[in-house]
Amino acid sequence: MYGEFNSFHQSIANTRVLVFFYYLLSKINFIIKKIIKPPIINVNNEIIEIIFSKNQLKSSNALALVNSKRIILGLDKIDSIKKNDFLMSNYKILFLSMILSDQIYNTLKRVNNDPLLKNNNFRIIKLLVIERVFKSLNHQKIKTVINYNDHSPYNVITFDFFKKIKKKIVYCQHAPVSKKFPKLYHDINLLFSNDSKDKYGHIAKTEKDVLIIGDIRFWDLPKTNKINNKIKETILICTNKIDCLDSIKKCAEFFINQNFKVILRKHPADNSTIHLSDEIIISSNSNIFDDLSLCDIVVTNESAVPLESIYLNKLTYIYRFNQKKGTALVFDNYSFMKIGLITRDFTSLGKLLSSIKKKEITFSKEKLDYFIGPVSEKEKIRTKLITKLYS
């Protein structure tokens, strides 16, 4: 996991510049502390939820715990804020870091010789501030802490901090997993499906409490999605960070030339710029289901998107884009082909087009429940879950 950090996060500036910046702040730290005060977070709830990303927030919204307090850190634009939520944006986190200038200066100075840590200097600053935020909580009434990720450094520090003060820690899965994840280590582990349980079981046996609750992202989703009558069929192309931009462009423009309407949805963590013809729509939707409602056909590579698209009865095809230079080859990361959810993949645009024109089914929907779990049993599972969380 340590070796993969640099694939997902980049530094915000030259580390030497940051070291010098926080060195200057440390010299006036006594003044800063008089001006800037750390937040006071009043908690009168037995359950708190710690949230660091939009996907984690979506999972929290789906879980819909009534009597919990949500502490949302590092998100800037949110539509679904509740009255009891505590929100600290990335801007506020950086602002609060000025109070910790001594600690940040000494930490960044030590990591400057480590290429990996140096390229994650923002993450290090954020971790130090998160720890300070946790220390500002009144912990007396808290009994249970819900974590929506088990391998992000932010969620790991959440586990470590609250475990030290003897709180019950719950892990709620927020996205599909692979065999590269850590073993289950939270007191209670809420997993989507037998697929998740089997993959974690392959990693290591666990004596921790495990409950299969179904993929909670599907709890309030209709099983069918009507498509309006259109002159052109719409293809949604979903890419990831390892896909070659030239290969993506070639695919998108190929289908435009075949008289399809094309929407390109980049992976949320992909900041690369791709130049396409004006006819190709680049999605700005944060929710995958918003894009799925606009399309008839889905083309993707290594992605969890087939779970959503097959559930909504979209024609779904796996096309193997060329990979970016310097990235490791990833094939069947989620075991969709191994288990039989996906029955065919494509490396030729011509063969892919032929399959699309024939409306060939290249998946087995009967295998879907193995991956998304008992989503139809929402109410029964919620009752069991609430009992477990408050016991």
- The count of other CB atoms within 10 Å of the CB of residue 259 is 9
Task: Please check whether residue 76 is in contact with residue 91, taking contact to mean a CB–CB distance below 8 angstroms.
Answer: yes
pLDDT at position 274 is 86
Separation CA 383–CA 142 (nearest Å)? 21
pLDDT at position 8 is 43
Residues in the chain: 391
Separation CA 279–CA 283 (nearest Å)? 13
- The count of other CB atoms within 10 Å of the CB of residue 56 is 25
pLDDT at position 5 is 36
Q: What is the dihedral of CA 90, 96, 101, 106, to 10 degrees?
A: -50
Q: pLDDT for 6-29, tens place per residue?
A: 444 555 557 788 888 899 999 999
Q: Which residues of 277-308 are buried (b: 16+ CB within 10 A; e: fewer)?
A: eeebbebeeeebbebbbbbbbbbbbbbbbbbb
Structure tokens at 338: 């191994």
pLDDT at position 159 is 98
pLDDT at position 42 is 87
Q: Which domains does the chain have, with CATH numbers?
A: 2-175 (no CATH), 234-371 (3.40.50.2000)
Question: At a CB cut-off of 8 Å and minimum separation 6, what does 239 contact?
Answer: 248, 264, 265, 266, 267, 270, 300, 301, 303, 321
Strands 315-319 and 297-300, sheet pairing: parallel
Half-sphere exposure of 16 (CA within 13 A, CB side): 1
User: H-type helices in the chain, by residue range?
Assistant: 5-8, 15-27, 29-35, 54-63, 90-96, 101-111, 115-118, 121-135, 153-164, 194-203, 245-257, 288-292, 305-311, 336-339, 349-357, 368-372, 378-390
Residue 74's region, left for phi above 0, alpha for psi from -120 to 50, else beta, is: left
Task: Please check whether residue 207 is in contact with residue 236, taking contact to mean a CB–CB distance below 8 angstroms.
Answer: no
Separation CA 6–CA 216 (nearest Å)? 29
Dihedral pair phi/psi, residue 351, rounded to 5°: -70, -35
Dihedral pair phi/psi, residue 356, rounded to 5°: -65, -45
Q: How many helices (H) and strands (E) does the chain have?
A: 17, 13
Q: pLDDT for 316-358, tens place per residue?
A: 999 999 988 888 788 898 999 999 999 999 999 999 999 999 9
Give the residues of the chain that fall short of pLDDT 70: 1-13, 222-231
Separation CA 229–CA 48 (nearest Å)? 46
Q: Which residues pair with 211 in a beta bridge?
A: 190
Structure tokens at 222: 């209709």
pLDDT at position 12 is 54
Separation CA 188–CA 377 (nearest Å)? 20
Q: pLDDT for 191-225, tens place per residue?
A: 999 999 999 999 999 999 999 999 998 887 765 55
pLDDT at position 78 is 77
Measured at the CA of 344, the angle between CA 279 and CA 212, to 5 degrees, comes to 100
Dihedral pair phi/psi, residue 188, rounded to 5°: -125, 135
pTM assigned to the model: 0.85
Which of 304, 369, 366 lies closest to 335 in space, CA to CA? Answer: 304
Give the 3-state secondary structure of residue 235.
strand
Task: Please check whether residue 75 is in contact with residue 94, taking contact to mean a CB–CB distance below 8 angstroms.
Answer: no
pLDDT at position 7 is 42
Structure tokens at 212: 């299969």
pLDDT at position 6 is 40
Strands across the sheet containing 188-191 = 86-88, 68-73, 47-51, 144-147, 168-172, 188-191, 209-212
Separation CA 244–CA 241 (nearest Å)? 8
